[in-house]
Amino acid sequence: DKYTSDFLNKINLKYIVLCENLYVSGMGAGGIPNHKMKTIIINTNFDEYILGRIIHHELFHIVNENYKTYFNKNIWTKFNNSKFNYAECSTCTDKLDLSLLNNGDGFITEYSMSTASEDMAEVFSILMVDKQKIQDKALKDPILNKKILFIKKNILKIDENFKFN
């Protein structure tokens, strides 16, 4: 009920597949987007809070794939401390923890430190399930604040009536 059918059409999402015990390349996974099939696959083996984050996270990957010019990774990367570098891929790192960080220097979870697209998806997912918490963190974290504003601004370019949380 957080997304209008108009928004889902604009981002080109057609299917949501719910499953249990999802594995991708031998690793347990919360979800995975399949851009070609216009589908997100969601592992339901999580509590309600994490499940919500997974759904919004994977949905954002569909957004990102269809609106790459709005969610430019090079612009996003420049928000970070100049000494920070993302990994080549999300599975090329051991940064997998989804717990919210207390002082993340621009990052909301350890997993958000893996790649720019995962970082964007993590920020979006927290905006959708716990907007107040991420905004409170952003008051003390100017990098995170820039990332939130970037996500909001560009989602509103897709759908000016979009509501966060």
Query: And the tokens for 101?
Result: 């960080």
pLDDT of residue 66: 96
Tokens at 36, concatenated: 């070609």
Question: Tell me, what's the pLDDT at 101?
Answer: 85
DSSP codes, 55-120: HHHHHHHHHHHH-TTTT-HHHHHTTS-TT----SSTTSSS----SBPSS-TT-SBSGGGS-HHHHH
Kindly compute the dihedral angle of the four CA atoms of residues 137, 143, 148, 153, in this order, to the nearest 10 degrees.
150
Burial class of 77 by CB neighbour count within 10 A (0 to 12, 13 to 18, 19+): middle
* Coil vs helix vs strand at 27: strand
Q: According to the model, what pLDDT value does residue 95 have? A: 67
How confident is the model at residue 144, as a pLDDT?
Answer: 97
The pTM for the full model equals 0.93
Mean pLDDT per segment of 10 residues, for the chain of length 165 residues?
94 96 89 95 96 97 97 97 85 70 87 94 96 92 97 98 88
The pLDDT assigned to 98 comes to 75
Three-class DSSP category at 4: coil
Interatomic CA distance for residues 97 and 110, integer angstroms: 5
pLDDT of residue 99: 79
Per-residue model confidence (pLDDT) at position 26:
84
Determine the pLDDT at residue 96.
66
